[in-house]
Copies of this chain bind each other. A is one copy, B any other.
Amino acid sequence: MSLPKVLDKIDAGLDASIERLMNFMRIPSISTDPAYDADVERAADWLVENLKSIGVTAEKRTTPGHPMIVGKIGEELDDKTPHVLFYGHYDVQPVDPLDQWKSAPFDPQIVDSAHGKVIRGRGSADDKGQLMTFVEACRAWKAVTGTLPCRITFFFEGEEESGSPSLVPFLRENKDELQADIALVCDTTMVSRGVPSVSTQLRGMLKDEFTLIGPSIDLHSGLYGGPALNPLREISRIIASFHDPETGKVTIDGFYDGVKEVPADQLRQWNDSGFDEDVFLGDVGYSQRHGEEGYSTLEQLWARPTLEINGLWGGYNGAGSKTVIPSEAHCKLTCRLVGDQDPAALRKALRAHVEARLGPDLKIRWENDLSGSGASVMNLERTEYEAARGALSDEWGREAVFSGMGGSIPVVGFFKSELDLDSMLVGFANDDDAMHSPNEKYDLESFHKGTRSWARILDALATH
């Protein structure tokens, strides 16, 4: 019956926990941009030292990309003690547009908000703050009881924001070392503020990128304008063809193959989850939903696939003007996948859709080696789910809900395919945390109650 003491320990040590998180956040571990490689390495070293300070036998493991971290604690406990693998990522998103930040992205600040104090800075919510809720819960358990209620394997990667190129090979090479009863992942949001949530389905993701090439050199729009083929005009025409303007549906042949409608009872759960569509949309400047006709906002977010343009550029974007017809136009896009949509088949269909629309003299270059992963649906027959739901309900004083998740956490699919390991996703982020955006933040409530929640879940998993 150590749990109350552990929770008191967490409360008493909150300021120190926050200080550790802020030190972690000060390291600009942007994994997608090689300019930050040394910082990503530094973040890995920081995390290894932090785990060791709890008594975890943690190591940094090199990969062809950014390092993995593997750590173990509670190995002295007997085999009947549950063994969980906790996953998180220590890398973060790029920070542009920099001029929209209210404070430097890697100089974390504690500021007041409409919902109490928050920690502002890149990585606060995605995923350093969430990752640390679990680490700090373990720290408190160790401090109070000298051990942990479960055997724990820590597994952290530094490539989650850049497609995890090293993940699958690493899982294959270290299959035995990473065995556990279940994987715990803390990289998700609560369905709405104050409503604890276990995410039971995640969308998959397909990334692609192409360049259209028109003239062999940039041209003067006066000397060539008229007979010249302008790739900016062509790329706009092609992008405009991806969606049906009436229904909002993606027009690529076979795009919806493998997409299933949401069962009525699950829809009812979602509708009763306290999610407020108007607040969710209004917070980011929308007066209405803009997705597929005939689906609720939660369905559009959790159960419907999308095709989004994430980057579009070509020609002159500097000060003043330049009368140029550029040689190239570029597009980065991602599809969010659901149900049984097959990333490989969709990539083929997407590329066929684009190439069928190339006119004479218009060439295309595709970016290769871009990742794709299918959607994940959790195995709700695992008893750990109800145990965690109970622990979360106790902490938050409100029944926890089984929700969906619009984002993609490919590792969940790979844990299943490579390690035959089921995952449970519990996260404490809020929709207004501006993950991937300027002024990313994490509520102190999320950090504090999140840490307490993990302390309770570890206890529940050991005793259920």
Which residues of chain A have a CB within 8 Å of any CB of chain B? 31-34, 93-94, 96-97, 100, 162-163, 189, 203, 205, 207, 209, 214-230, 232-233, 235-237, 239-240, 242-243, 245, 281, 284-292, 295, 297, 300-301, 304, 306, 308-326, 329-330, 332, 334, 336, 359-361, 370, 405-408, 431, 434-439
Given the contacts A321-B332, A407-B220, A360 and B288 also touching, CB distance less than 8 Å: yes
Q: Please give, as numbers and ranges, the residues of chain B lying within 8 Å of A316 by CB-CB distance.
A: 94, 96, 310-311, 332
Asked whether, in the complex, the Cβ of B225 is within 8 Å of the Cβ of A406, the reply is yes
Q: Please give, as numbers and ranges, the residues of chain B lying within 8 Å of A408 by CB-CB distance.
A: 222, 323
Given the contacts A94-B322, A240-B237, A288 and B361 also touching, CB distance less than 8 Å: yes
Given A226-B406, A228-B284, 5 other A-B contacts at CB below 8 A?
Answer: A33-B319, A221-B308, A233-B309, A311-B317, A313-B313
Secondary structure of the A side of the interface? loop
Asked whether, in the complex, the Cβ of A324 is within 8 Å of the Cβ of B310, the reply is yes
Q: List 24 A-B contacts (CB under 8 A).
A: A32-B319, A32-B322, A189-B223, A205-B323, A207-B321, A216-B285, A217-B434, A219-B284, A219-B436, A220-B435, A220-B437, A221-B336, A222-B408, A226-B291, A227-B289, A227-B300, A230-B308, A288-B361, A308-B323, A308-B325, A310-B315, A310-B316, A310-B323, A310-B324
Asked whether, in the complex, the Cβ of A225 is within 8 Å of the Cβ of B308, the reply is yes
Asked whether, in the complex, the Cβ of A221 is within 8 Å of the Cβ of B321, the reply is no
Q: Please give, as numbers and ranges, the residues of chain B lying within 8 Å of A437 by CB-CB distance.
A: 217-220, 324
Asked whether, in the complex, the Cβ of A222 is within 8 Å of the Cβ of B284, the reply is no
Asked whether, in the complex, the Cβ of A311 is within 8 Å of the Cβ of B314, the reply is yes
Q: CA separation between A50 and B368, bound complex, in Å?
A: 54
Asked whether, in the complex, the Cβ of A217 is within 8 Å of the Cβ of B361, the reply is no
Asked whether, in the complex, the Cβ of B287 is within 8 Å of the Cβ of A436, the reply is no
Q: Please give, as numbers and ranges, the residues of chain B lying within 8 Å of A336 by CB-CB distance.
A: 221-222, 225-226
Asked whether, in the complex, the Cβ of B290 is within 8 Å of the Cβ of A217, the reply is no
Q: Please give, as numbers and ranges, the residues of chain B lying within 8 Å of A311 by CB-CB distance.
A: 232, 314-317, 321-322, 324
Asked whether, in the complex, the Cβ of A163 is within 8 Å of the Cβ of B310, the reply is no
Asked whether, in the complex, the Cβ of A323 is within 8 Å of the Cβ of B319, the reply is no
Report the minimum CB–CB distance from A224 to chain B (whole Å): 7
Q: Please give, as numbers and ranges, the residues of chain B lying within 8 Å of A34 by CB-CB distance.
A: 319
Closest Cβ neighbor of A281 among chain B residues:
B227
Report the minimum CB–CB distance from A145 to chain B (whole Å): 37
Closest Cβ neighbor of A305 among chain B residues:
B226
